[in-house]
Amino acid sequence: MKGVVVKSTGSWYLVRDEAGKLHRARLRGKFKLKGMKVSNPLAVGDRVEFDVETTGEDTAVIHKIEDRENYIIRKSTHKAEHAHIIAANLDQALLIATLVSPRTSFGFIDRFLVTAEAYGIPTVIVYNKTDLYDEEMQEYQRQIAYLYERIGYKVMGVSAHANQGIDELKELLHGKTTLFSGHSGVGKSTLINLIVPDLDLKTSEISDFSDKGVHTTTFAEMFEIDPETFIIDTPGIKELGIVDIPKQELGHFFPEMRERLNQCRFNNCTHFNEPGCAVVDAVRKNEIALTRYESYLSMLHGEDNRK
């Protein structure tokens, strides 16, 4: 049988088969992923082949993981030098951000965008809590939208509290598998509850299949909106960190830098203090936003500007 992993609790996985039925499954033996040091061989969104066991307990054994189209990872919190795969086979990611209560920093947004670029995942920035804006904040929001839209990112404003922009958000999600991310407190859960009717029912259905008493907030979880539309909630993704991006390649994951890379005097230019750097020249001319360049430098030098 074939199916998709919708939840992981460590050693057990919840798999939805092609007919929509849920199966509690485990991996057969040890799976090694070629050339990857990861703490989990299987992630939410993985497509698998499995057999239902004949023990009468409605359990299954996964014997094959299909090749991934893409995936997103973070540094493992348990094993040094290992990464943790958060989710696989994504059509897009939604980064939920806020200007107030709490404020999402440019550093956090840019680190997320770089990670998504590195793993080939298109991203939309969604600003929630627009009902709290005064006129000055509305203008600031427009400036931020312009900053990111001119380098190719879609930016939306919504209000979960006032139910504004929710229909447009649903339209954006239709027919796709979407990763939801953002700091705690940005209203991600409230938005998901608005988008997925009877979410409590779906959550309890999944919980019934999971190990009782297992704390799973560090694991992603997939919810079905309709047979073609899925969202993956990711409580732990805020601890991302940049994984395995060499300094010489970092500029490739900033679209506005990528288009200028062949214009620098030196092939191995790090866009910091080298002469004849097209990126630094573009920053001076305000063609590249200073906030974006500051985010780039903080990642280049291993500093943290996510506050």
For the annotated binding site for GTP, the residues are 128-131, 182-190
Q: How far apart are CA 212 and CA 215, in angstroms?
A: 9
* Dihedral angle sign, alpha carbons of residues 260, 265, 267, 269: negative
Q: Please report, in range form, the residues annotated as the binding site.
A: 128-131, 182-190, 264, 269, 271, 277
In the DSSP assignment, the letter for residue 33 is -
Supply φ then ψ for residue 159, to 5 degrees: -135, 110
Supply φ then ψ for residue 171, to 5 degrees: -60, -40
Query: Which positions ≥6 away from 50 have C-beta within 8 Å?
Result: 1, 2, 3, 15, 23, 25, 60, 61, 62, 63
60 contacts 51 by C-beta, under 8 angstroms = yes
Q: How far apart are CA 256 and CA 110, in angstroms?
A: 12
Q: Locate tokens 């409605």: which residue?
A: 58
Q: Is 55 exposed, middle or buried (0-12, 13-18, 19+ CB in 10 A)?
A: exposed
Q: Please report, in range form, the residues annotated as the binding site for Zn(2+).
A: 264, 269, 271, 277
77 contacts 239 by C-beta, under 8 angstroms = yes
Q: How far apart are CA 11 and CA 39, in angstroms?
A: 12
Q: How far apart are CA 198 and CA 97, in angstroms?
A: 25
Supply φ then ψ for residue 47, to 5 degrees: -95, 130
